[in-house]
């Protein structure tokens, strides 16, 4: 398992290099253990990898859903090269060691152990490591399409780093781009154009005073909106014909992303009524719905008992969980490593935690496949 984790880190799977090499590392690992694995590749270097253990039948499958991609190492210096996978003091260092190649290695090792069990579990166990969790969720969407016939599954376990907390809820992520549309002109005759930047000024004021409708969630609190980027203008002597804002909205369970978009459209329409020359368009850059799993449903109760941890909680970050929820089963996020290390320099994970995670995945899957109705 240690070698697998090191190889996964060395197969750098950032946005620019893609996930294919990391998918191949997992496929090789499974094949050398006698477990059949399938690499689903597309584009130049994108890929998912899946493996499926046949159960003795009767029970719906349990899914282990990982992601292959990692964020870039960033500009700050690292103590050890970020893609070396070096071992120091019982820890493996490198980009992705925590988010989430540690959990992925543990899940893959659990698969191999379950494959050797006699008799086989009562239901199938499906392993997936998918592309693009940090960017476009392309791999999760593709996996869910391909495995939709397995629905409803008994449950989905996401081995993201939670430091062994059982996570059952997180906020959604809704990234919008709003562009005001003007008319370019020579800046010596600005009256012949429509300045998109000045048009944005009014919309910015509207947005600042606007509250997106939501009902506060007992665990996750409020919906939030943050305006994070603005781009306009091509040159000093051209009236800008476009101005684009980037808005990050974090939603809570009960909110519908289409309704949030419609609410933004109403804001634009109101301004257009007041100012007929005003024009703007909304583009959705990314949409991950909020996640909420009943902590007392059969699957999560079994899971809690099997891993010996009773408490469940909510977190601030998002996962591909809402995509996997389309498979019709409850989703829990549970894995080794501390979230505080994610996306930062000197990311590292204790090997003992990766080992413990593998043990707990085996125990949880066995219990859930035996006891779930
Ligand atoms: Zn992650």
- Give 319-344 pLDDT, tens digit per residue: 999 999 999 999 999 999 998 888 89
**159 & 300 share domain:** yes
CA of 373 to the centre of ligand 1 (A): 30
**115 & 141 share domain:** yes
Give which of 6, 189, 178 is closest to 85, Cα–Cα: 6
- pLDDT bucket at 115, cuts 50 / 70 / 90: very high
Structure token pair of residue 296:
């007392």
**206 & 241 share domain:** yes
CA of 237 to the centre of ligand 1 (A): 45
* Residue 313, H or E segment: strand 312-315
**34 & 158 share domain:** yes
CA of 247 to the centre of ligand 1 (A): 22
* pLDDT > 80? residue 371: no
Q: What is the 3-state secondary structure of 194-244?
A: ECHHHHHHHHHHHHHCCCCCCCCECCCECCEEEEEEEEECCCCCECCCEEE
**206 & 237 share domain:** yes
CATH at 283: 3.30.70.360
Assign residue 85 a region: left if phi > 0, alpha if psi is -120 to 50, beta otherwise?
left
**198 & 248 share domain:** yes
CB atoms within 10 A of CB 227: 15
pLDDT confidence of residue 372:
61
pLDDT confidence of residue 57:
75
pTM, to two decimals:
0.88
**204 & 330 share domain:** no
CATH at 31: 3.40.630.10
**19 & 163 share domain:** yes
Distance of alpha carbon 291 from alpha carbon 170, whole angstroms = 5
CA of 194 to the centre of ligand 1 (A): 44
What is the residue-wise DSSP string for 77-106? --SS-TTS--EETTEEESTTIIIIIHHHHH
| φ, ψ dihedrals at 292, nearest 5° | -150, 115
Are 96 and 53 contacting, i.e. CB atoms less than 8 angstroms apart? Answer: no
Are 26 and 104 contacting, i.e. CB atoms less than 8 angstroms apart? Answer: yes
pLDDT confidence of residue 341:
85
3-state secondary structure of 155: strand
Q: What percent of the residues of the chain are helix, what percent strand, and what percent coil, each to the nearest 5?
A: 35, 25, 40
* pLDDT > 80? residue 229: yes
Q: Where does a domain end: 262, 288, 314?
A: 288
Are 246 and 228 contacting, i.e. CB atoms less than 8 angstroms apart? Answer: yes
CA of 103 to the centre of ligand 1 (A): 9
**333 & 346 share domain:** yes
pLDDT confidence of residue 152:
94
Residue 334 domain boundaries: 2-170+290-371
- Give 244-290 pLDDT, tens digit per residue: 999 999 999 999 999 999 999 999 999 999 888 889 999 999 999 99
Distance of alpha carbon 91 from alpha carbon 371, whole angstroms = 35
**178 & 98 share domain:** no
Instruction: Name the percent of the chain lying above pLDDT 70.
Output: 99
* pLDDT > 90? residue 97: yes
CA of 347 to the centre of ligand 1 (A): 13
| Arithmetic mean of pLDDT, 9-33 | 97
CA of 161 to the centre of ligand 1 (A): 7
**150 & 23 share domain:** yes
CA of 14 to the centre of ligand 1 (A): 12
3-state secondary structure of 112: helix
Q: Where does a domain end: 265, 288, 311?
A: 288
CA of 9 to the centre of ligand 1 (A): 14
pLDDT confidence of residue 233:
94
- pLDDT bucket at 373, cuts 50 / 70 / 90: low
- pLDDT bucket at 317, cuts 50 / 70 / 90: confident
Burial class (CB in 10 A: 0-12, 13-18, 19+), 188: exposed
CA of 280 to the centre of ligand 1 (A): 34
**32 & 144 share domain:** yes
CA of 323 to the centre of ligand 1 (A): 14
pLDDT confidence of residue 316:
81
CA of 172 to the centre of ligand 1 (A): 15
CB atoms within 10 A of CB 59: 18
CB atoms within 10 A of CB 44: 8
CA of 84 to the centre of ligand 1 (A): 19
Dihedral in degrees, nearest 10, Cα atoms 275, 280, 286, 291 = 20
* pLDDT > 90? residue 118: no
| Arithmetic mean of pLDDT, 97-123 | 94
pLDDT confidence of residue 121:
87
CA of 170 to the centre of ligand 1 (A): 13
- Give 55-78 pLDDT, tens digit per residue: 987 889 999 999 999 999 989 999
Are 136 and 286 contacting, i.e. CB atoms less than 8 angstroms apart? Answer: yes
Give which of 174, 179, 194, 305 is closest to 239, Cα–Cα: 194
Q: Across all residues in the chain, what is the average pLDDT?
A: 94
Dihedral in degrees, nearest 10, Cα atoms 141, 144, 145, 146 = 120
Q: Where does a domain end: 263, 288, 313?
A: 288
What are the b/e assignments for 317-339, b being 16+ CB within 10 Å? bbbbbbbbbbbebbbbbbbbbbb
Q: What total number of domains does the chain contain? A: 2
Distance of alpha carbon 150 from alpha carbon 127, whole angstroms = 13
- Give 192-224 pLDDT, tens digit per residue: 999 999 999 999 999 998 999 999 998 899 999
């Amino acid at each position: 398992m240690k070698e697998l984790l090191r190889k996964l880190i060395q197969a750098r799977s950032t946005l620019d290099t893609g996930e294919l090499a990391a998918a191949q590392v997992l496929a090789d690992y499974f094949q050398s253990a006698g477990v059949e694995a399938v690499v689903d590749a597309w584009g130049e270097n994108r890929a998912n990898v899946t493996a499926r253990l046949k159960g003795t039948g009767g029970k719906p499958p349990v899914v282990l859903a990982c992601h292959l991609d990692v964020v870039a190492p960033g500009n700050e210096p690292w103590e050890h090269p970020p893609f070396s996978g070096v071992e120091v003091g019982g820890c493996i260092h490198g980009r992705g060691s925590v988010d989430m190649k540690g959990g992925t290695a543990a899940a893959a090792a659990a698969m191999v152990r379950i494959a050797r069990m006699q008799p086989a579990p009562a239901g199938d166990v499906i392993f997936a490591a998918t592309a693009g969790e940090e960017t476009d969720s392309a791999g999760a969407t593709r996996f869910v399409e391909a495995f939709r016939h397995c629905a409803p599954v008994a449950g989905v376990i996401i081995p993201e780093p939670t430091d062994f907390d059982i996570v059952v809820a997180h906020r959604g992520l809704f990234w919008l781009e709003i562009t005001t549309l003007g008319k370019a002109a020579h800046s010596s005759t600005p009256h012949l154009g429509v300045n998109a930047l000045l048009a944005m000024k009014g919309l910015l004021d509207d947005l600042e005073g606007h509250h997106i409708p939501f009902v506060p969630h007992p665990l996750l609190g409020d919906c939030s909106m943050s305006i994070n980027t603005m781009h306009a203008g091509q040159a000093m002597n051209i009236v800008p014909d476009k101005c684009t804002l980037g808005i990050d909205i974090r939603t809570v369970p009960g909110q519908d992303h289409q309704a949030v978009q419609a609410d933004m459209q109403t804001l634009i329409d109101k301004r257009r009524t007041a100012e007929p020359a005003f024009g703007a368009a909304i583009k959705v850059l990314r949409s991950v719905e909020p996640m909420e799993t009943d902590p007392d449903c059969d699957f999560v109760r079994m899971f809690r008992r099997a891993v010996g941890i009773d408490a469940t909680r909510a977190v601030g970050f998002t996962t591909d969980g809402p995509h996997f929820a389309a498979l019709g089963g409850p989703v829990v996020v549970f894995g080794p490593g501390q979230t505080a290390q994610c996306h930062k320099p000197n990311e590292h994970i204790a090997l003992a935690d990766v080992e413990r995670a593998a043990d707990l995945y085996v125990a949880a899957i066995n219990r859930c496949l035996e006891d779930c109705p």
